[in-house]
Amino acid sequence: MNGFILWATPWWVNLLMCVPVAVFLLSRKNKFSISKQQLLLVAIFGIAFGFVEASVVIYLRAALGFLPNYTGTLSDIINNAGSYNPSHLLKTIPTGLFTVEFFREAATMVMLTSIGLLSARRYRERFILFLWAFAFWDLFYYVGLWIVTRWPESLTTQDVLFLIPVPWISQVWFPFLVSGLTILLVAINSRKSADLVS
């Protein structure tokens, strides 16, 4: 088990803690005009997309030799995944695959932004639904990885969160906290469907 590390690197990644604060501030005067159906559908998208993201990372680990027994059954992978250190991936990933990964992450942001834009009429609600989708995507990325590989081993496991414009490194508790608080605050501050009809 790793020791607790408070700060992410580079330093500006820590500003993501402002996301739940922004959600709270945007909802102080008026709740978000988002129905339960919108929240549910965008959450389903985020959950499914998180699992797709986890699958891509699992394939990348297998291709680079970081996932023993990947040729066996899912049970073989779960029981023999071995330890994994994402910093090793950064050091050994070939330049071509790193470039593909960089553009895949950019495409991920385009997709999450698009779901927010398509799910609401007003810009405030579009932004909030983008954050909602992002939070579910982020959480279920880790859920998907853990189900298949039993990684991350704990909330203090170190991870490479993102590559754009440089690698973001933090313990897993950090994205869990930001995403969890975002989901909670959006859910609390969204109007019920009946309120939207009037």
pLDDT in tens, 92-111: 888 898 899 999 999 999 99
In a domain, 108, yes or no: yes
* Domain hosting residue 70, numbered range: 33-191
In a domain, 26, yes or no: no
In a domain, 49, yes or no: yes
Burial of 112 (0-12, 13-18, 19+ CB in 10 A): buried
Q: Which helix (H) or strand (E) holds 122?
A: none
* pLDDT at residue 192, rounded to an integer: 60
Q: Which residues touch 126 (CB under 8 Å, ≥6 apart)?
A: 116, 117, 119, 120
Chain centre to alpha carbon of residue 142: 7
In a domain, 1, yes or no: no
Q: How many domains does the chain have?
A: 1
CB 149 within 8 A of CB 57: no
> Residue written as tokens 């998907």?
144
CA-based nearest residue to 131, from 187, 169, 195, 193 = 187
In a domain, 10, yes or no: no
Cross-strand bridge partners of residue 160: 169
In a domain, 18, yes or no: no
In a domain, 126, yes or no: yes
Residue 159 structure tokens: 């991870």
* pTM passes above 0.85: yes
Res 10 pLDDT > 90: yes
Query: Which residue did the predictor score with more confidence, 73 or 22?
Result: 22
In a domain, 24, yes or no: no
